[in-house]
Amino acid sequence: MQDEQDKKYKGHIIPIINQKGGVGKSTTAINLASCLAESKKRILVIDLDPQGNTSSGFGIDKTKLEKDIYNALLEDTPLEDMILETPQKNVWVIPATIQLAGAEIELVSSIARESILKRLLEPIRYRYDFIFIDCPPSLGLLTINALVAAESLIIPIQCEFYALEGVTKLIESMKMIHSKLNPTLDVFGVVMTMYDPRTTLSKQVVEEVRKYFGTKVFKTVIPRSVKLSEAPSHGLPINLYARFSKGSLAYLKLAKEVSRRG
């Protein structure tokens, strides 16, 4: 294991971010990570949301955890003490539990409070090709920590009316972080989620988002799929739960695009 740990991988830090709730951040974090790992990439997923959806989506029993990302952010516990295996080979997760809910307020009095996660990641980042961070649906200090640690962002956007509303606010925050705390921050890609090919609305939203973000929008669009919503209750990523479902095929295709870009 020591050999493996000393090897250098890309260490690409990519938060999955949108302050709007329920747009597919956690679903994308779990399934993109898992599908990318099939092509021998080493992936770490950090659950930075007190809801802990990414942790449970990987089948982690949150009631049995001794440590989670809260202990790292607030008590300086090294991240490597809390890395867990997942059902998918080459994917590891740093879990979150509801105790993280207190962090937004407790972090306020910490020294260099915006860059704690960045500092904690330094010793471990080059053990992985990609580090995805599943962000909470807010622009508080947890999300700011992800933005400061990041090289670039993946923004999931749900194919629904008002899809771009809120994204403009995210871009404002990104610009603020860009100028003050992280001058190299960029958008890695925008992924359209919960696409319904039967509706013209879905098509219109994709068009509108492509006008706004141009080629940053991934060609792969994630369809609405019941299997994708069922998989977390089985604690499995989609490629292991329903490999040939349309949701799984879409995330496998997205993984290929991500791999080509990054």
Q: By the criterion CB under 5 A, which residues form the site for Mg ion?
A: 25-26, 53
Would you give the binding string for ligand ATP spanning residues 104-143, x where CB under 6 A is met? Answer: ---------------------------------x------
Q: How far is the CB of 20 from ligand ATP (least distance, A)?
A: 7
24 forms part of the interface with ligand ATP (CB under 6 A): yes
| Burial class, 225, CB count within 10 angstroms (exposed 0-12 / middle 13-18 / buried 19+) | buried
Q: How many whole angstroms separate alpha carbon 42 and alpha carbon 103?
A: 28
Q: How many whole angstroms separate alpha carbon 177 and alpha carbon 99?
A: 26
239 forms part of the interface with ligand ATP (CB under 6 A): no
Q: How many whole angstroms separate alpha carbon 93 and alpha carbon 193?
A: 23
Q: Which is nearer to ligand ATP, 16 or 124 (CB)?
A: 16
26 forms part of the interface with ligand ATP (CB under 6 A): yes
CA R_g for the chain = 17
Q: How far is the CB of 25 from ligand ATP (least distance, A)?
A: 3
Give the range of 83-91, 113-121, 145-153, 223-231 binding ligand ATP by CB under 6 A: 223-231
Ramachandran angles phi, psi of 135, nearest 5°: -90, 155
CA 233-238-241 angle, 5° bins: 65
User: What is the identity of the amino acid at 179?
Assistant: S
* Site residues (CB under 6 A) for ligand ATP, limited to 29-68: 49, 51, 53
247 forms part of the interface with ligand ATP (CB under 6 A): yes
**Contacted entry of Mg ion, ligand ATP, none for residue 225, CB cut-off 5 to 8 Å set by kind:** ligand ATP
Helix (H) or strand (E) holding 189: strand 186-193
Q: How many whole angstroms separate alpha carbon 258 and alpha carbon 154?
A: 10
Compute how many other C-beta atoms are within 10 angstroms of the C-beta atom of residue 219: 10
21 forms part of the interface with ligand ATP (CB under 6 A): yes
SS3 (DSSP) at 85 = strand
Q: How far is the CB of 150 from ligand ATP (least distance, A)?
A: 17
Q: Which is nearer to Mg ion, 11 or 222 (CB)?
A: 222
Q: How far is the CB of 45 from Mg ion (least distance, A)?
A: 12
Q: How far is the CB of 201 from ligand ATP (least distance, A)?
A: 15
- Read off the tokens for 176: 């603020």
Binding site for ligand ATP (CB under 6 A): 21-27, 49, 51, 53, 137, 193-194, 222, 224-225, 228-229, 247
